[in-house]
Amino acid sequence: MSGHAARTATADVVCLGESMVTFLPSQPGRLADVPSFGRGIGGAESNVACALAAGGHRAKWVGRVGADGFGDHLVDTIADYGVDTSAVRRDAGRPTGVYFRTAADRATDTHEVAYYRAGSAASAMSPSNVPYEDLFATRILHLSGITAALSADCLALLHDLTAPRDGRPLISFDVNHRPGLWRDGEAGPEVLLALARRCDLVFVGEDEAEEAWGVHGTEAIRAVLPEPDVLVVKRGAEGVTVYARTGSGAADDTVTTVPSLRVDVVAAVGAGDAFAAGFLSATLRDLPVRDRARHGHLMAAAVLTVPGDLTGPPPRAYADRLAALDDEAWGTLRLGPGWTAAPGANEEVRVT
């Protein structure tokens, strides 16, 4: 992380993006048939901030919400996780975004999401109304491709934040390709590729890279993204492959593949954001690349074994014990609901 901390860092990680109130179904079924919904929050970047704050880091979320009750709920809920929300701005002329989703797995054809975010307060973020002094007073600035898709002003903001400049923090970027968010006629994949190439640490799914850029396999993805110092390719059940730059060219990469954990999944939501949070947490601690990826898997497993998008992480000492397992023990580890409660000091790490 050398070379990225010229300013005084008042936060470990700052996350910029839209957070919305999400309405979760009371029972399975089509949106047309679900009789009632419970209220939660959702937002890729605020999810990362909440997970990092719950894990003991100084995390700040920067965004815009409406001057309405939903905006109050968002800010209060995110702050309850320990996140600094002092840089959140209110917009009296635009509402807080909301969305409804079904209970079905997002990967299935029966999953439905209804977004009501067009014209939201967050979509009005721009280089002229976002507090840059908060964005750059950090060790890591975490961004997402979702923000780029919200409006032309949001895209201009991401272009500006990823531009080379003296003293900028380490820029982390989760590609988060969401085809349905891009407006007609806009070349979302090309925009996301250009943004990712200007960042220091990039997260991208192998499947989304193929969908967006027509490339298959980790080496091909690295070939189209040679610039980031660290490229994390998420490969679903097969784990992740991390390319870490050790010199001036791609030939100087170290390539580390870390298998996924076996997890008894309760709800397949929020895992990507949780993985990013775990990886960033371990990056802040200067852990080896293998352990960064393992902490990402562990944080993802914490979310996968609860119903919602957010949960408290395992105690750091317990996560460190699991991340330090040898390859054989890591490969046989299985985690289910309640696993984040650390065993007693005299108990062995649970491996099945």
Chain length of the chain: 352
253, 273, 291, 309: which one is catalytic?
Answer: 273
Q: CA 47 to CA 56: how far, in whole Å?
A: 15
Spatial contact of 8 and 29, defined as CB atoms under 8 Å apart: no
**Token pair listed for 329:** 């023990």
| Of the candidates 276, 272, 293, the residue with the CA atom closest to the CA atom of residue 141 | 276
CA 54 from chain centre, in angstroms, equals: 14
Torsion sign, CA atoms 124, 126, 129, 134: positive
Q: How many CB atoms lie within 10 A of CB 301?
A: 28
In the numeric block, the tokens 């990402």 are attached to 296
Q: Are strands 113-116 and 37-42 parallel, antiparallel or unpaired?
A: unpaired
Kindly give, in sequence order, each residue whose CB lies less than 8 Å from that of residue 19, ignoring residues fewer than 6 positions away: 41, 42, 43, 45, 46, 61, 63, 65, 74, 78, 122
Question: Which ranges in 10-141 belong to alpha helices (H)?
Answer: 44-54, 69-80, 132-136
Q: Any catalytic annotation for residue 273?
A: yes
Burial bucket for residue 126 (CB in 10 Å: 0-12, 13-18, 19+) = middle
Burial bucket for residue 2 (CB in 10 Å: 0-12, 13-18, 19+) = exposed
**CA distance from start to end of the chain:** 36
The strand order across the sheet containing 11-16 reads 59-62, 11-16, 138-144, 170-174, 201-205, 230-234, 240-245, 253-258
Active site residues: 273
